[in-house]
Amino acid sequence: MIARYQTPEMAALWSPEHRFRVWAEVERLALEAWEGLGAVPAGVAERLARALPAGDFEPEFSERVAAIEAETHHDVVAFVRALAERSGDAAVRRYLHYGLTSSDVVDTAQNRLLAEALDLVLAELEDLLAALADLAVRYKHTPAVGRTHGVHAEPTAFGLRFLSFYAAAQRDRERLRRAREAVATAVVSGSVGNYAHTPPEVEAHVAGRLGLVPE
C-alpha cells in the first residue's frame, strides 16, 4: 500500500519485523507440537522462545536475513539461519524447521497476518457503521432533492441516503467476516503437502495456538 494511505497499525502489521515475528512463532509452535509427539527433546521450543523478542524483531534482524538471502537466494533459508544464529542454542539449531517446508511457515503466517489485517478493518468498520447510523437518524427529516437521469425528481430525506450507506456497510461487514473465516487457515503439512513427514497433529497444534483452523 502507498505509505500515505496506511494507518500506523496496518503499516506495523505488514512490516518485515512483524512478519518475521509471526514466522518465528510458527516455527516455535511446530517445535512445541513435535515435543508433544516425542520427536523433539522437551524444552527446545522454550529455548527458542527465550531468543525471541517480546514484540516485533528489531530492524537489524531483518537486515541480517536480507544479507543471508543475498547469498542463499532463498528467503526462508535465510530466515531460519538468522533465527538459529540469534538463539545461539545447539538444540534449537538442530531442530529448528524440523519436518517443515517453506510454505508451511510462509502460508500459515500470511494467513494469520491477513486475519489480523481484517480484524483492523472490521474494527474501523464498526466506527463507520456507528457514524452512518447517527447521521441517518440526525437527518431523517431533512429534505433533499431526489435525482434521476441527472435532473431533479421527487423530494427525499437526506437521512435516507445515509441509511442506504449503512445497509451497504452492514453487507460489507458480513462479507469481510466470511473472508476472514475463509482465510484463517493453517497449512502445516510438510514437503509437497501430503503429511508424509509432518503428521496432522502438528498442523492442528499450530493452528489452534494461532487462532486458525487446519486446512
- Domain ranges in the chain are 1-98, 101-190
Q: For residue 150, what pLDDT is reported?
A: 87
Q: What is the pTM of this model?
A: 0.91
Q: Which of 65, 87, 71 is nearest to 16 (CA)?
A: 65
- Distance CA(136)–CA(158), nearest Å, equals 8
Q: In CATH terms, are 1-98 and 101-190 the same topology? A: no
Q: What is the pLDDT along the chain (215 residues), one digit of tens a residue?
A: 788 899 999 999 999 999 999 999 999 999 999 999 999 999 999 999 999 999 999 999 999 999 999 999 999 999 999 999 999 999 999 999 999 999 999 999 999 999 999 999 999 999 999 999 999 999 999 999 999 998 999 999 999 999 999 999 999 999 999 999 999 999 999 999 999 999 999 999 999 999 999 99
At 38, give phi and psi (nearest 5°).
80, 10
Topology (CATH) of 1-98: Fumarase C; Chain B, domain 1 (1.10.275)
Classify domain 101-190 at the CATH superfamily level: Fumarase/aspartase (Central domain) (1.20.200.10)
C-alpha cell at 101: 517446508
The H-assigned helical ranges of 139-188 are 158-183
Buried b vs exposed e over 15-49: b needs ≥16 C-beta within 10 Å? Answer: eebbbbbbbbbbbbbbbbbbbeeeebeeebbebbe
Q: Which residues pair with 185 in a beta bridge?
A: 213
